[in-house]
Amino acid sequence: MKNTQRPIGIYDSGIGGLTVAHAITKLLPGEDILYFGDTAHLPYGDKSEAAIQAYSIKIADVLLKKGCKAIVIACNSASSAAYELLKEYVRNDAHILNVIDPMIAHVCEHFAGEEVGLIGTRRTVASGVYHQRLAETCPSIKLRSLATPLLAPMIEEGFFNNQISHEIIAQYLSESGLEGIKALILACTHYPLIKKEIDGFYNGHMAILDSSEIVAMALKDHLEKNGLAHSGTRSSKRFFVSDYTPSFEASTRLFFGKMVHLEQHRLWN
């Protein structure tokens, strides 16, 4: 098979990464997609770095065996814990992309000299990876980050656009640590689903940065620059999970815009 025709692998701790997969399939409709959701081990947001690294290596093995030309780490928690290791591990077999670097590039371009907020899981915030990358590439930006661990489970349970979600979101966003920001990075797969509510909290006066579209554009650019883009008109999409349940399958509708069929692929037998 020609390199260009090989699929794009996308993985996440679960089905939240379907927000990124959805943005990628919209922007690159000719590319074959293999999605892997590690539903047996979610949430990654509260796991140790070592655990996420071990899961990520297993998943990369699955995606490499299936011939992926590129692997997108759709999960912020996994991007912060396992990107460097995975790049070392995979070497020349596939290109590895994360969800953090495209966001850093975007923020540097548009918000130099400003204060920027970030919300994400405990793992993402504790890793300090956004602070570190900004300090390296755009030190004039002051980053204020806040762990918002209730948001992902809340969204998974379908609690958004209602009174409970409004109150939880308002409580988090009112924290003094986020005062004075000019933009807010949504550093979690799930948060595109509450973007409108966050926008409502700020009465439309905040730049809300959703990584799914930014990542899809960075992937397109990367494939084109490296001669890996496939411009076919038909493509296949397969969605694997490490632990299948009907409720995960039902929830795919929330994150992908329509329900998709999930196939079980265990990481450990």
If 0-12 CB within 10 Å is exposed, 13-18 middle and 19+ buried, where does residue 180 land? exposed
Q: 159 to 188, contacts with ligand DGL by CB under 6 A?
A: 188
Q: C-beta of 188: minimal distance to ligand DGL in Å?
A: 4
The tokens 């990654």 sit on which residue? Answer: 44
Sign of CA dihedral 145, 150, 153, 157: negative
- Strand-pairing partners, residue 73, are 11, 98
Q: C-beta of 111: minimal distance to ligand DGL in Å?
A: 21
Q: 13 to 42, contacts with ligand DGL by CB under 6 A?
A: 13-14, 16, 42
Which residue stretch of 43-51, 63-71, 137-145, 178-186 sits at the interface with ligand DGL (rule: CB under 6 A)? 43-51
Residue 145 touching ligand DGL (CB under 6 A): no
Number of CB atoms found within 10 A of residue 167's CB: 10
Which residue stretch of 26-34, 70-78, 174-182, 200-208 sits at the interface with ligand DGL (rule: CB under 6 A)? 70-78
Residue 256 touching ligand DGL (CB under 6 A): no
Q: C-beta of 13: minimal distance to ligand DGL in Å?
A: 3
Q: 123 to 142, contacts with ligand DGL by CB under 6 A?
A: 124
Which DSSP string do the residues of 21-73 spell out, in sequence order? Answer: HHHHHHH-TTS-EEEEE-TTT---TTS-HHHHHHHHHHHHHHHHHTT-SEEEE
Contact with ligand DGL (CB under 6 A): which of 12, 31, 197, 210?
A: 12
* DSSP 8-state assignment for residue 190: T
Active site residue 188: yes
Residue number, 94 or 155, with CB nearest to ligand DGL: 155
Q: Which helix (H) or strand (E) holds 123?
A: helix 122-127
- Which amino acid belongs to residue 170? A
- Which amino acid belongs to residue 211? S
Q: Which helix (H) or strand (E) holds 203?
A: none
Residue 211 touching ligand DGL (CB under 6 A): no
Q: 80 to 119, contacts with ligand DGL by CB under 6 A?
A: none
Active site residues per annotation: 75, 188
Query: Residue numbers of the site for ligand DGL (CB under 6 A)?
Result: 12-14, 16, 42-45, 75-77, 120-121, 124, 152, 188-190
